[in-house]
């Protein structure tokens, strides 16, 4: 596989590959199965607070899963610790509720032990970015075929309301009674820095967009990362509402579409223009600005520089981007690993454990 | 005498500040999160540092740094977090740095649950980290003792230049009781060995690395001599109605309070029962147990674990008397009736057996 860009036709090919179950992640030698959303639900009592944004993410994942045509026994959901990490209990697939921050490492072990499994990692801003920051970066960097969804609610919900690595500077909460003095981290910036090959963002209150992003993530081969803005209505209610409420969304958010100019606003008359490295908002028709001045989004660009700039755009200075920032194809870790195994076998012949063990310098004592 | 109705987890923080502690580094975890939250409230008021770290590993290493810089410092967590700190605790002990660590024990192993247990005895008292070291361990059984023993922990940590751990079950951390706090605060003692950033301490070296076998052995001998001093003089215990007791119950933390009532009720029934409560778990009051073994007929150890402290009791008793063991786990706590029933059984059994030396130990549990 080459390092070529990932384009629409390549994606379609890839999707059809999955549909025809020739792909490893689809269960070797099995024909596509017809499942419904119900098949992915469990009898477990969902223990999230009423009104939590997590319900929406669960519903969209359960909606997307049957469309992938993968048998449930070939799917694994792996989580760490936090509210989001209760997710595997609610998916009728294989699931692991693991250690705080360690889900990406655990998932790496699962994927390499059985590459035909489709492996999902469900994590949160605390789990992935504080204690798990290390594992998160290295799972992305290796380009292992993991599908990581980060529920970002900018708070520690499970321990009842302390600030998280994404909490806004100055936010008052139980462990920062005078407001936090920790600068928040941008999860997308981390993913770009770690060379993730798929990076996207969506939100709990836009289920249609969310399901599209989950689907895109599912079809990506390699380390995929989806950040979901998720409202914690108990400990951090309304943290995203200044820009994501329906009434203001058009003017304060921008949906990324590959190959299309970055336009937003009710009438799509505003856009993002890049002058040197700083994005600016321009109005089409004003000051001689035309559609040609608007940055055209290219999620397949090999260098993530422009995506990085887009990923850093925050309200109120900019509209908040939603969508796929980056989708490129590189050989995955497991492909290269098994490539090395095949190569060493082709050079040295099939393995013989006894021969190997007795291959050192040996001598007999008489 | 002024008393304040306060939660155990909060009393720890007030006591620490009164003891001259000026920095707290921690990470939220149930059932210890209130310590972090109270520290966030109170440390700034005392001119101290509060920092919510990204993990328990970070917390203990921040403590490591603050202790080296000559500050009275602390952290707090629960079982899983204490496990993560073990590497740092070994380095702190090896570098002879004083600090206080609070463990509000929850259920394990693994994720276990958030209900109270006493199953951290092994990892805390025996040292869950690597190498030849000891930690001083104090086990409060009331909110008043959460205050008093935290205060003492800072003094012992400084006296022996060693980490001191206040370990209790989730009950004591979560319950509210009236507490009489010291009316005046103390200043941390001078620490001429620390690296204070002045000319006098420029040549001080804080390290746990001794590359030459002879040097490391000498360092270990030095630590052993220090531990031997602590082991003969710092033991604390409570002996209740043990003077004529024929069955002596042994328990710490919440268990000791239930046992006390059971002992009183047994006495009313004519059973000569007593209670021995270790307050320091290391140094363990083994000599005192050895002394009461002279006259009692048998022991009954009760723990919220599968039998961890009971090993130390058996070593102290050295086979001279039967050591019976009763336990509950998973967050369950025995009732007074339950323990009274066990006490009756043990007393009948020890009466029946005239020749104790030939009798077998009794084991039963959940």
Last residue of a domain, one of B209, B230, B251: B230
| Whether B112 contacts chain A with CB within 8 A | no
pLDDT score, position B334: 96
CB contact under 8 A, A101 and B55: yes
> Where does residue A296 rank: exposed (0-12), middle (13-18), buried (19+ CB within 10 A)?
middle
Q: Give the domain extent around B329.
A: 238-364
* A331 lies in some domain: no
Q: Which residues of A touch B44 (CB under 8 A)?
A: 178
Q: Write phi, then psi, for B342 (nearest 5 degrees).
A: -65, -40
Beta strands per DSSP E along B186-272 = 237-240, 247-250
| Whether B46 contacts chain A with CB within 8 A | no
Query: Do residues B67 and B212 share a domain?
Result: yes
Query: Do residues B61 and B210 share a domain?
Result: yes
Higher pLDDT, B71 or A23: B71
How far is Cα A310 from Cα A200, in angstroms, rounded to an integer? 11
Compare CB distances from B54 to A133, A174, A175 and report the shortest one's residue: A133
* A356 lies in some domain: no
| Whether B29 contacts chain A with CB within 8 A | yes
User: CA of A162: which chain B residue's CA is closest?
Assistant: B28
Would you tell me how many other CB atoms lie within 10 Å of the CB of residue A366? 3
Compare CB distances from B36 to A99, A162, A178 and report the shortest one's residue: A162
Query: Do residues B46 and B151 share a domain?
Result: yes
The answer for B331, left when phi > 0, alpha when psi is -120 to 50, beta otherwise, is left
pLDDT score, position A353: 83
Burial A98-125 (b: 16+ CB within 10 A, else e): bbbbbbbbbbbebbeeebebbbbbbbbb
How far is Cα B335 from Cα A30, in angstroms, rounded to an integer? 56
Are B279 and B138 in contact, with CB atoms under 8 Å apart? yes
* A11 lies in some domain: yes
User: CA of B37: which chain A residue's CA is closest?
Assistant: A175
Are B349 and B362 in contact, with CB atoms under 8 Å apart? yes
Using DSSP bridges, classify how beta strands A278-283 and A146-152 pair: parallel, antiparallel or unpaired: unpaired
The stretch B146-158 carries a mean pLDDT of 98
Compare CB distances from B33 to A97, A160, A178 and report the shortest one's residue: A160
Q: What is the DSSP string of B67-81?
A: HHTT--EEEEE-HHH
CA distances from A331 to A145, A197, B158 (A): 10, 10, 56
Using DSSP bridges, classify how beta strands B4-7 and B176-179 pair: parallel, antiparallel or unpaired: antiparallel
| Whether B111 contacts chain A with CB within 8 A | yes
How far is Cα B68 from Cα B174, in angstroms, rounded to an integer? 32
CB contact under 8 A, A162 and B52: yes
User: CA of A177: which chain B residue's CA is closest?
Assistant: B41
Name the residue among B155, B196, B199, B146 with its Cα closest to residue B175: B146
Q: Which residues of A touch B80 (CB under 8 A)?
A: 99-100
Query: Do residues B192 and B117 share a domain?
Result: yes
Are B17 and B46 in contact, with CB atoms under 8 Å apart? yes
Are B147 and B106 in contact, with CB atoms under 8 Å apart? no
Secondary structure (3-state) at B125: helix
* A346 lies in some domain: no
| Whether B61 contacts chain A with CB within 8 A | no
CB contact under 8 A, B55 and A130: yes
pLDDT score, position A350: 83
* A174 lies in some domain: yes
The stretch B294-320 carries a mean pLDDT of 96
Give which of B36, B52, B56 to mutate to test A binding, by max A Cβ within 10 Å.
B52
| Whether B352 contacts chain A with CB within 8 A | no
Query: Do residues B153 and B47 share a domain?
Result: yes
Query: Do residues B32 and B169 share a domain?
Result: yes
Give which of B13, B36, B37 to mutate to test A binding, by max A Cβ within 10 Å.
B37
pLDDT score, position B350: 54
How far is Cα B234 from Cα B5, in angstroms, rounded to an integer? 29
Compare CB distances from B52 to A81, A97, A163 and report the shortest one's residue: A163
Distance from CA of B32 to the nearest CA of A (A): 10
Using DSSP bridges, classify how beta strands A270-275 and A263-264 pair: parallel, antiparallel or unpaired: antiparallel
How far is Cα A327 from Cα A331, in angstroms, rounded to an integer? 13
pLDDT tens over chain A, length 366 residues: 333 333 344 444 443 333 333 344 444 445 566 899 999 999 999 999 999 999 999 999 999 999 999 999 999 999 999 999 999 999 999 999 999 999 999 999 999 999 999 999 999 999 999 999 999 999 999 999 999 999 999 999 999 999 999 999 999 999 999 999 999 999 999 999 999 999 999 999 999 999 999 999 999 999 999 999 999 999 999 999 999 999 999 999 999 999 999 999 999 999 999 988 899 999 999 999 999 999 999 999 999 999 999 999 999 999 999 999 999 999 999 999 999 999 988 988 887 888 878 888 888 898
Last residue of a domain, one of B208, B230, B252: B230
Compare CB distances from A156 to B28, B41, B57 and report the shortest one's residue: B28
Higher pLDDT, A17 or B182: B182
pLDDT score, position A363: 86
| Whether B155 contacts chain A with CB within 8 A | no
The CATH number assigned to the domain holding A29 equals 3.40.50.970
How far is Cα A291 from Cα A274, in angstroms, rounded to an integer? 13
| Whether B9 contacts chain A with CB within 8 A | no
Query: Do residues B56 and B139 share a domain?
Result: yes
* Residue in this structure with the two tokens 């003077």, named with its chain if needed: B243
**Rounded to the nearest 10 degrees, what angle do helices B56-68 and B79-94 cross at?**
30
| Whether B37 contacts chain A with CB within 8 A | yes
Banded pLDDT at B357 (limits 50, 70, 90) = very low
CB contact under 8 A, A160 and B80: no
Q: Which residues of B touch A78 (CB under 8 A)?
A: none
* A67 lies in some domain: yes
* A349 lies in some domain: no
CB-based contacts of A361, cutoff 8 Å, min separation 6: none
* A306 lies in some domain: no
Compare CB distances from B55 to A131, A174, A177 and report the shortest one's residue: A131
Query: Do residues B149 and B256 share a domain?
Result: no
CB contact under 8 A, B54 and A165: yes
Chain A residues bordering chain B (beta-carbon distance below 8 Å)? 81, 97, 99-101, 130-131, 133, 156, 158-160, 162-163, 165, 174-178, 182
Q: Looking at residue A45, what DSSP letter applies?
A: P
> Where does residue B289 rank: exposed (0-12), middle (13-18), buried (19+ CB within 10 A)?
buried
CB contact under 8 A, A175 and B55: no
Are B266 and B273 in contact, with CB atoms under 8 Å apart? yes
Query: Do residues B56 and B167 share a domain?
Result: yes
Banded pLDDT at B47 (limits 50, 70, 90) = very high
Secondary structure (3-state) at A25: helix
Query: Do residues B192 and B272 share a domain?
Result: no
Q: Which residues of B touch A81 (CB under 8 A)?
A: 111
Q: Give the domain extent around A83.
A: 2-239
Q: Which residues of B touch A97 (CB under 8 A)?
A: 111
**pLDDT over 70 percentage in chain B:** 95
> Where does residue A266 rank: exposed (0-12), middle (13-18), buried (19+ CB within 10 A)?
exposed
Q: Write phi, then psi, for A135 (nearest 5 degrees).
A: -65, -35
CB contact under 8 A, B56 and A159: no
Are A203 and A210 in contact, with CB atoms under 8 Å apart? yes
Distance from CA of B288 to the nearest CA of A (A): 41
CB contact under 8 A, B40 and A177: yes
CA neighbours closer than 13 Å in the CB half-sphere of residue B190: 3
| Whether B41 contacts chain A with CB within 8 A | yes
Query: Do residues B212 and B277 share a domain?
Result: no
The CB-based long-range contact list for B315-321 (8 Å cut-off, 24+ gap) reads: B315/B286, B316/B284, B316/B286, B316/B287, B316/B289, B316/B290, B317/B289, B317/B290, B317/B293, B318/B290, B318/B293, B319/B357, B320/B293, B320/B356, B320/B357, B321/B293, B321/B296, B321/B297, B321/B356
| Whether B359 contacts chain A with CB within 8 A | no
Query: Do residues B250 and B336 share a domain?
Result: yes
pLDDT score, position A156: 97
> How many structural domains compose chain A?
1
User: CA of A130: which chain B residue's CA is closest?
Assistant: B54
The stretch B168-183 carries a mean pLDDT of 97
CB-based contacts of A236, cutoff 8 Å, min separation 6: A153, A154, A155, A157, A161, A167, A173
> How many structural domains compose chain B?
2
The CATH number assigned to the domain holding B299 equals 3.40.50.920
pLDDT score, position A11: 41
How far is Cα B23 from Cα B151, in angstroms, rounded to an integer? 15
């Amino acid at each position: 596989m080459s390092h070529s860009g990932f384009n629409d036709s390549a994606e379609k090919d890839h999707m059809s590959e999955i549909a025809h179950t020739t792909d490893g992640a689809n269960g070797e030698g099995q024909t596509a199965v017809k499942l419904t959303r119900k098949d992915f639900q469990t009898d477990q009592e969902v223990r999230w607070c009423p009104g939590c944004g997590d319900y929406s993410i669960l519903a969209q994942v359960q909606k997307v899963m049957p469309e992938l045509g993968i048998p449930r026994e070939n799917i694994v959901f792996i989580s760490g610790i936090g509210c989001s990490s209760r997710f595997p209990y609610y998916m009728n697939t294989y699931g692991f509720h693991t250690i705080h921050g360690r889900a990406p490492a655990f998932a790496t072990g699962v994927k390499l032990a059985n590459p035909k499994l489709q492996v999902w990692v469900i994590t949160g801003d605390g789990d992935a970015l504080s204690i798990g920051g290390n594992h998160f970066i290295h799972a992305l960097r290796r380009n292992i075929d993991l599908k990581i969804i980060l529920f970002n609610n900018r708070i520690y919900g499970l321990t009842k309301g302390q600030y998280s690595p994404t909490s806004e500077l100055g936010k008052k909460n139980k462990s920062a009674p005078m407001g936090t003095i920790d600068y928040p981290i941008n999860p997308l910036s981390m993913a770009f820095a770690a060379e993730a090959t798929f990076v996207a963002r969506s939100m709990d209150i836009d289920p249609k967009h969310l399901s599209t992003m989950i689907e895109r993530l599912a079809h990506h081969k390699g380390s995929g990362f989806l950040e979901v803005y998720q409202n914690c209505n108990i400990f951090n209610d309304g943290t995203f509402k200044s820009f994501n409420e329906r009434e203001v969304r058009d003017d304060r958010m921008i949906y990324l579409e590959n190959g299309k100019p970055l336009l937003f606003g009710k009438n799509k008359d505003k856009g993002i223009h890049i002058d040197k490295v700083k994005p600016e908002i321009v109005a089409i028709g004003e000051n001689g600005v035309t559609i040609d001045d608007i940055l055209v989004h290219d999620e397949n660009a090999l260098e993530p520089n422009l995506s990085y700039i887009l990923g850093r755009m925050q309200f109120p200075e900019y509209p908040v981007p939603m969508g796929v920032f980056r989708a490129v194809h590189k050989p995955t870790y497991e492909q290269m690993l098994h490539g090395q195994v095949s190569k060493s076998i082709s050079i040295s012949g099939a393995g013989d454990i006894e021969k190997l063990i007795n291959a050192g310098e040996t001598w007999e004592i008489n | 005498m002024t008393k304040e109705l306060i939660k155990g987890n909060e009393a720890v923080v007030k006591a620490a500040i009164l003891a001259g502690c000026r920095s707290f580094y921690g990470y939220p975890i149930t059932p210890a999160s209130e310590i972090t939250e109270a520290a966030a409230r109170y440390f700034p008021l005392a001119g101290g540092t509060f920092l919510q770290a990204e993990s328990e590993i970070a917390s203990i290493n921040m403590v490591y740094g603050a202790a080296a810089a000559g500050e009275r410092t602390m952290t707090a967590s629960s079982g899983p977090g204490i496990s993560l700190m073990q590497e740092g605790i070994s380095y702190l002990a090896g570098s002879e740095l004083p600090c206080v660590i609070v463990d509000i024990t929850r259920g394990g192993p693994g994720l276990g649950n958030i209900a109270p247990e006493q199953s951290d005895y092994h990892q805390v008292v025996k040292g869950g980290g690597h190498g030849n070291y000891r930690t001083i361990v104090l086990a409060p059984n009331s909110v008043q003792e959460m205050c008093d023993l935290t205060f003492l922990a800072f003094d012992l940590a400084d006296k022996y230049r060693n980490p001191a751990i206040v370990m209790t079950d989730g009950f004591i951390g979560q319950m509210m009781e009236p507490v009489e706090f010291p009316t005046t605060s103390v200043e941390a003692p001078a620490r001429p060995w620390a690296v204070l950033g002045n000319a006098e301490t420029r040549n001080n070296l804080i390290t746990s690395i001794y590359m030459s076998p002879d040097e490391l052995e000498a360092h270990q001998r030095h630590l052993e001599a220090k531990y031997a001093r602590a082991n003969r003089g710092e033991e604390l215990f409570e002996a209740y109605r043990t003077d004529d007791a024929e069955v002596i119950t042994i328990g710490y933390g919440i268990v000791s309070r239930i046992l006390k009532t059971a002992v009183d009720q047994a006495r009313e029934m004519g059973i000569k029962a007593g209670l021995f409560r270790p307050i320091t778990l290391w140094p363990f009051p083994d000599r005192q147990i050895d002394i009461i073994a002279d006259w009692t007929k048998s022991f009954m150890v009760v723990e919220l674990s599968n039998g961890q402290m009971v090993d130390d009791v058996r070593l102290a008793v050295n086979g001279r008397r039967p050591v019976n063991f009763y336990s509950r786990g998973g967050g369950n706590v025995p009732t007074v009736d339950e323990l009274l029933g066990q006490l009756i059984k043990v007393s009948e059994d020890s009466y029946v057996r005239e020749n104790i030396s030939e009798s077998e130990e009794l084991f039963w549990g959940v």
